[in-house]
Amino acid sequence: MSTNFAVIGATGKTGRRVADLLEADGRTVRRLARGTSPAFDWERPEGWAAALQGVDRVYAAYVPDLSGPGSEAAITRFVEIAEAAGVQHIVLLSGRGEDGARRCEDILLSSNVPATVVRASWFAQNFTEGMLADAAVSGVLALPAGGVREPFIDVDDVAAVAVEALTGTGHAGRVHEVTGPESLTFAEVAAILSETTGREIVYVPMGFDEFRVAVAAEEGEAVANLLTELCRETFDGRNVAPTAGVAAALGRPPRDLRSVLQEAAIAAPTGAPAHTVGS
């Protein structure tokens, strides 16, 4: 019998890549998001059972973030519904160094559904496909990160690890903690962005309160509070060291940030950054 896959968050950075890889491998994939039919909305659990009906294996990216309020209750309910629907394996995207995310991981891994966690560092594509892509236009990369280093991970590597966990053997009960090969400061990222885009981009460290006010003006108080506390938690040095997670899962090294940014620059003929959101 064929295996049916579902990708929750199929319009996000990791989700669409996971779905693409599965389909390229000839797999049957149900892409799920708030706008799909059936729909999957993390705020509307009454629709989850229908979305998971007939699905064997699931990749799930929780929105807005596993460290946020309500995530533990949502993951608990999700696992219950997935088990009742007959789901045989769940792969959950998680954030590295987030205490709230770790509690959600524990809920999943202690459940009756075989599961794998892909615990990722900061996405390299945050600089090309998200809000930070604006730095290529404004010339300013502003964050409350100080001089902390981060081993930025290529989202294509995250997706490849997730697909291996979904389709391979021996992944149940495991946590794949994945990072890029080197830790860089945001000032070093700005320098690489300058080289790859041909524009001068500088890193401007911000205070947490200043950052909160700036985000609130663009995205609202709820998003500002979540992102500020997430930055406060993860930019304390806990995530500096790279891991061997990609190599352990895939048998090859992860791609570095410079390669990701160079590829994005070549793919954008006008030099304009692409903007997408989600995980």
> What confidence category does residue 269 fall into, taking pLDDT thresholds of 50, 70 and 90?
low
Q: What is the pTM (predicted TM-score) of this model? A: 0.94
Q: What is the spatial distance between Cα 203 and Cα 145, in angstroms, rounded to a whole number?
A: 10
243-266, pLDDT tens digit by residue? 999 999 999 999 999 999 999 999
| CA dist 87 → 32, 81, 82, 158, 218 (Å) | 15, 9, 5, 22, 39
150-197, pLDDT tens digit by residue? 999 999 999 999 999 999 999 999 999 999 999 999 999 999 999 999
> What confidence category does residue 122 fall into, taking pLDDT thresholds of 50, 70 and 90?
very high
Q: What is the spatial distance between Cα 192 and Cα 101, in angstroms, rounded to a whole number?
A: 30
Comparing CA positions, the residue from 206, 18, 177, 182 lying closest to residue 98 is: 177
215-219: which pairs have CB atoms within 8 A and are 24 or more residues apart?
A: 218/131
Structure tokens, 198: 């041909």
Examine the pLDDT at 204 and tell me if it is beyond 90.
yes
**Structure confidence at residue 1 (pLDDT):** 53
185-189: which pairs have CB atoms within 8 A and are 24 or more residues apart?
A: 185/145, 185/147, 185/148, 185/149, 185/150, 186/141, 186/143, 186/145, 186/148, 186/150, 187/147, 189/127, 189/141, 189/152, 189/257
Q: What is the spatial distance between Cα 214 and Cα 212, in angstroms, rounded to a whole number?
A: 6
178 phi and psi angles, rounded to 5 deg: -115, 135
Residues of the chain above pLDDT 70, percent:
95
Sheet holding 4-8, edge to edge: 28-32, 4-8, 57-60, 89-95, 115-120, 175-178
6-37, pLDDT tens digit by residue? 999 999 999 999 999 999 999 999 999 999 99
Look up the CATH superfamily of 4-122+154-178+239-254: NAD(P)-binding Rossmann-like Domain (3.40.50.720)
Alpha helices in the chain (DSSP H): 13-24, 48-52, 71-85, 99-109, 135-138, 155-167, 186-197, 208-219, 221-234, 245-250, 257-267
31-69, pLDDT tens digit by residue? 999 999 999 999 999 999 999 999 999 999 999 999 999
Structure tokens, 136: 């290529």
Mean pLDDT computed over every residue of the chain: 94
**Structure confidence at residue 33 (pLDDT):** 98
In the numeric block, the tokens 């604006």 are attached to 134
Comparing CA positions, the residue from 193, 178, 51 lying closest to residue 136 is: 193
Structure tokens, 8: 């929750």
Q: What is the spatial distance between Cα 179 and Cα 167, in angstroms, rounded to a whole number?
A: 21
| CA dist 66 → 48, 81, 209, 253 (Å) | 18, 18, 22, 27
**Structure confidence at residue 136 (pLDDT):** 81
Percent helix, strand and coil across the chain, each to the nearest 5: 45, 15, 40
β-pair type (175-178, 115-120): parallel
Cis status of the peptide bond prior to 242, with omega within 30 of 0: no
> What confidence category does residue 131 fall into, taking pLDDT thresholds of 50, 70 and 90?
confident
Q: What is the spatial distance between Cα 35 and Cα 163, in angstroms, rounded to a whole number?
A: 23
